[in-house]
Structure 1
Amino acid sequence: MLEHLTEQPADKILALMQAYREDPRDNKVDLGVGVYKNAEGVTPVMKAVKAAEQKIWEAQTSKAYTSLAGEPQYIEGMIDLVLNGAVDRARIGAVTTPGGTGAIRQAMELIQRTSPDATVWVSNPTWPNHVSILNYLGMKHKAYSYFDTATRDVDFAGMMADLANVAAGDVVLLHGCCHNPTGANLTLDQWKEVVALINEKGAIPLIDIAYQGFGDGLDADAAATRLVAGSVGECLIAASCSKNFGIYRERTGILMAIAGDEKTAKLSQGMLQFLNRQNYSFPPDHGARIVATILNDAELRKMWEEELEETRLSMLNLRQQLADELKRLTNSDRFNFLAEHRGMFSQIGTTAEKVEKMRADSAIYMVSDSRLNIAGLNDKTVPLLAKAIVDAGV
């Protein structure tokens, strides 16, 4: 049996991480892996998370299975955090998942079971795992225009032109905030136009919101998701706690299915729990319990929100520093988009050859599509990156 296995293509980001580790140069800069790092290059455990874990350790008396849906306080807390009453709770089915990736996978399987002929529309570019999962499941998918490499902004006209071809029952995958990999986001007015088109076409939105709190703030980052969810008959939402709670390895996510009425929501809840059972039985609990503890404790929640805001402002400061340094080196405003983008990532809109030149000449490691992790920078490495960008002729 095993001799019939074939070699699978290496994950580009994981391969980049390995190359970075093997690079002996002291001035190397890792801007590939998508995790937040502080000025010391460490991905810290939040103080609120440590305090929540202490509370859990002191109070927890069992490690028995949770329910198929997961910890109820986590589910209710996350529905409130993401939607804040934008949708009647009775219309929402929800389950805990192993990270945001698990939520996306469960969403795709739900689509496959209920609408096997549906085409899933994804932005060009998008997070690579979106397309990888769709390909693995053998699901039909098409790309819609999103990023203009000349302006480094959203190609909204192209996006709307492509989405005009969406058919009734198709699924449109949207990034709720802090678009990965580009960092370029729709305005709220543009979101309203997208919602109107989705409703006109009879399509279903699937929102991936993995960076709430990393862009313009917790509520501002959720505004588009709340607008979409409150304006359509049906909607799927995949949310992650990896970034905004800093609990990457705990694999903590949630999938919400918003139905047209309470009866259908109950059917959705049953199907979501069935999918959990088939794929991993009971969902992991520790990360979900950390989040639930924080969201349901006023003191811990305040601590967490303050830490998250500090993280957000740190990334905005790094963006501005990089834009300013590039302006100084080039005497041009053409890199101002870096300060305007939001979230962990920006795509600088250059070729794979120039990205490779930056790696070879300056030990700058970023994904070949020119996505760079802003959170991988610090005061010392911003000038190194800026010089590498200029030297490479970006």
Structure 2
Amino acid sequence: MVKSMAAKHAIWPRENDIIFNLSERAQRAEKVTGKDNVINATIGALMDDDGKLITMESVYKEYKELPNGEIGAYASLAGQPDYIESVKKIFFREYMPDAHIRVVASPGGSGAIKLALWNYTNIGDEILTSDWFWSPYVSIAEEIDRKVVTYKLFNEGNSFNLTSFKENFLRIADKQERIFTIINTPGHNPTGYSVSDDEWDEILDLSKEVAKDESKKIMIFVDAAYIDFAGDDKVIRKFFRKFSNLPENILVMVGFSMSKGFTAYGMRMGAVIGITSDENIAEEFHYSCVHSCRANWSNCNRGAMAILSNIVKDQEKFNLYEEEKKIYKEMLSVRAKAFVDESEKIGLEILPYKAGFFISIPCDNPKELCEELTKDNVYTIPLKMGLRFAVCAVSESKCKIAPKIIKNAMEYLESKKVATSEV
């Protein structure tokens, strides 16, 4: 009897994505008990206080005014020329590195990661990222037979753990020609942490030291999907200048996404940006990524590219977009502050939050705690070492009451555990 038809490399555990599963459960609970009685903190998108997806008027007005031909036509493999220039302009602002820069369009930030991993690692290579990380990194790496390994993100002072990063960075450098690390900043998913300018100096100093061995190839991938909701648009971009005039064997790649900054989640539009001191390496980056585009998805969403280009090129449209984004950035900041302040007040431990869509709560039993919280109609996402709470999707009033509910559930499970051990 034939029990399998898939190729060996394409057989994976038969399980549903936990985020979408919990989100569906939360939505069912809302229908039964009413939205006011449910805290749905599973969704990684900006939602209004009524639980409806926020879509920026300045973005979707532009989309609806596009000619059908501009929406329906194929795009260039690397992305439309106007789009490529617009990505550079809006992403770097006045902090363009002194370097050779190339931009290749991708289907969202996920596509950017796929392009970088496929073209700049070998089969069996270890990919380094923090122990708190966006789980699809593993799926993307496993799909192409790479392995994600981690360092401890935080030290005892709740700052970037350079000691752990260095130890693992050097360990990989000892065994591999290529050292590829993913740094999700600013507004890290899932903790909301942002690497400081001083911490970037330490990361780059280490990279430059290893780069003295010219046989080593160092790739730093900056996953900046949340940059537009991570603080002042200018201040948070200053670190880009640090990527100027790096050694030739250090290649910085950055993932750009329209999903968060333009509330264009389903349009699946982004880019991978290559930053290098060597023009030949920049050209190689371009053609390697374009070949992968052709081999995987051919070309990207032309209509979404046109939206970005038209807004960035027109100062009046850009100003309207910036004003609208400012409203939602303030909304997110208020929600996060409510959660952080209340957590501090009641003694709920959370990881250091600076900005972004998510806050994380460390715990020993994430899945059990997540399930316990559903009894109180609170829906979060269990991670390996804790829970992820999406402040982007929860109203200020609910962000204020959620910490107490979470703390009560943690204490209940702990008391239950103690009682069981005493029997």
Normalized against structure 2, the TM-score is what? 0.83
1:18 aligned to which of 24, 45, 49:
24
**Aligned positions of 1:129-168 closer than 5 A:** 129-147=136-154, 154-167=160-173
Moved more, 157-166 or 130-139: 157-166
Q: Which runs of 5+ in 2 are unaligned?
A: 212-217, 412-423
1:359 aligned to which of 360, 374, 378:
374
Moved more, 203-212 or 2-11: 2-11
Equivalent residue number for residue 324 of structure 2: 307
Task: Supply the distance in 2 between the matched residues of 1:359 and 1:155 (Cα, whole angstroms).
Answer: 33
Tell me the SS of whatever aligns to 2:340: helix
The structural deviation recorded for 1:152 is: 6.0
- Answer whether contact 1:354 1:393 (CA < 8 A) is retained: yes
The structural deviation recorded for 1:296 is: 1.0
- Answer whether contact 2:77 2:294 (CA < 8 A) is retained: yes
Equivalent residue number for residue 271 of structure 1: 288
Tell me the SS of whatever aligns to 1:254: strand
**Aligned positions of 1:1-394 closer than 5 A:** 3-5=4-6, 8-23=14-29, 24-26=32-34, 27-57=37-67, 63-84=72-93, 86-88=96-98, 91-112=100-121, 115-116=122-123, 118-147=125-154, 154-167=160-173, 169-202=178-211, 203-228=218-243, 231=246, 233=248, 234-328=251-345, 330=346, 332=347, 340-350=353-363, 351-352=365-366, 353-360=368-375, 362-369=376-383, 370-393=387-410
- Answer whether contact 1:152 1:184 (CA < 8 A) is retained: no
- Answer whether contact 2:372 2:409 (CA < 8 A) is retained: yes
Amino acid at match of 1:128: S
Task: Supply the distance in 1 between the matched residues of 2:311 and 2:21 (Cα, whole angstroms).
Answer: 35
Tell me the SS of whatever aligns to 1:165: helix
Tell me the SS of whatever aligns to 2:104: strand
Structure 1 pair 40/225, CA: closer, same or farther in 2 (3 Å)? farther
Amino acid at match of 2:62: A
Tell me the SS of whatever aligns to 2:20: helix
- Answer whether contact 1:153 1:337 (CA < 8 A) is retained: no
Q: Percent identity?
A: 22
- Answer whether contact 1:86 1:227 (CA < 8 A) is retained: no
CA offset digits 1:6-62 (Å, max 9, x no partner)? 55332111121122233333312111121111222222221211332244238x568
The structural deviation recorded for 1:325 is: 3.1
The structural deviation recorded for 1:138 is: 0.3
CA offset digits 1:251-280 (Å, max 9, x no partner)? 011012223322332222122211111111
Q: Which runs of 5+ in 1 are unaligned?
A: none
Structure 1 pair 80/393, CA: closer, same or farther in 2 (3 Å)? same
- Answer whether contact 1:176 1:221 (CA < 8 A) is retained: no
Task: Supply the distance in 2 between the matched residues of 1:230 and 1:17 (Cα, whole angstroms).
Answer: 45
Task: Supply the distance in 1 between the matched residues of 2:73 and 2:244 (Cα, whole angstroms).
Answer: 34
Q: Which is higher, the Rg of structure 1 or of structure 2?
A: 2
Task: Supply the distance in 1 between the matched residues of 2:313 and 2:263 (Cα, whole angstroms).
Answer: 18
Structure 1 pair 236/14, CA: closer, same or farther in 2 (3 Å)? same
The structural deviation recorded for 1:87 is: 2.9
Task: Supply the distance in 1 between the matched residues of 2:126 and 2:244 (Cα, whole angstroms).
Answer: 20
Task: Supply the distance in 1 between the matched residues of 2:72 and 2:21 (Cα, whole angstroms).
Answer: 36
CA offset digits 1:324-355 (Å, max 9, x no partner)? 33445x2x5x65867x4310011111231223
- Answer whether contact 2:111 2:270 (CA < 8 A) is retained: yes
- Answer whether contact 2:97 2:242 (CA < 8 A) is retained: no
Structure 1 pair 248/40, CA: closer, same or farther in 2 (3 Å)? same
Tell me the SS of whatever aligns to 2:392: helix
Normalized against structure 1, the TM-score is what? 0.89
Task: Supply the distance in 1 between the matched residues of 2:128 and 2:151 (Cα, whole angstroms).
Answer: 7
Tell me the SS of whatever aligns to 2:259: coil
Structure 1 pair 119/268, CA: closer, same or farther in 2 (3 Å)? same
CA offset digits 1:171-213 (Å, max 9, x no partner)? 1111131111111222211111011111212322111110112
Aligned residues: 384
Task: Supply the distance in 1 between the matched residues of 2:189 and 2:106 (Cα, whole angstroms).
Answer: 20
- Answer whether contact 2:39 2:377 (CA < 8 A) is retained: yes
The structural deviation recorded for 1:69 is: 0.8
Amino acid at match of 1:8: R
Task: Supply the distance in 1 between the matched residues of 2:284 and 2:65 (Cα, whole angstroms).
Answer: 35
Task: Supply the distance in 2 between the matched residues of 1:155 and 1:25 (Cα, whole angstroms).
Answer: 43
- Answer whether contact 1:240 1:253 (CA < 8 A) is retained: yes
Tell me the SS of whatever aligns to 2:286: helix
CA offset digits 1:90-118 (Å, max 9, x no partner)? x2222111111111111111114xx4564
Task: Supply the distance in 1 between the matched residues of 2:17 and 2:247 (Cα, whole angstroms).
Answer: 36
Task: Supply the distance in 1 between the matched residues of 2:40 and 2:244 (Cα, whole angstroms).
Answer: 37
